[in-house]
Amino acid sequence: MASGEFDLIERYFTPLSAEATLGIGDDCALLEADHPLLPVGHALCHEAVQGLDPAAAASRLVEGAVKRAKELGTTPLWTTLTLTLPSTDTDWLESFSTALHAALVHHRIGLVGGDTTRGPLAVALQLLCRPAEGIATP
């Protein structure tokens, strides 16, 4: 999503951003944490979002990832979002980002980055979690 990528990020996803040393708008995130982090709870919706209401897709994406993270005994803190769009549909983006924001706020998860590209519709979410006490970390 060449020139419009940063406008899209600024309009729909910067308002969702969490505090990070380096975050949304860059191709990576730099986070400060007082504990190790585990990347868990990856959720991907590809064909599942085709024809699905964008708000439902956003909610399903977050809830699925959070459920998996909690099953592992971890606490989700931050997330990255990968969004591939066939075109810039402002109505779809508005509905998706509003529902994504609500779900992330509900679970106290901050959006710290991701990637936007042009192609067949697909969205992916990767959670960064605090491990439960007693879980070995690298």
Has this prediction a pTM greater than 0.85?
A: no
Of 118, 92, 80, give the one whose Cα is nearest residue 4. 118
pLDDT digits (tens, 9 = 90+) for 40-88: 555 555 545 667 789 998 998 899 889 888 888 888 888 888 888 888 8
Of 56, 58, 48, give the one whose Cα is nearest residue 16. 58
Grouping H, G, I as helix, E, B as strand and the rest as coil, residue 35 is: coil
- Provide CATH code, domain 5-14+38-122: 3.30.1330.10
- Total length of the chain: 138
Q: Which residue has the higher pLDDT, 121 or 19?
A: 121
Residue 18 pLDDT exceeds 90: no
As given in the structure block, the two tokens for residue 123 are 């969205």
User: Residues 32, 21: contact at Cβ < 8 Å?
Assistant: yes
What Rg, from alpha-carbon coordinates, does the chain have? 15
C-alpha–C-alpha distance, residues 22 and 71, integer Å: 29
Residue 45 amino acid letter: C
pLDDT digits (tens, 9 = 90+) for 33-48: 665 655 555 555 554 5
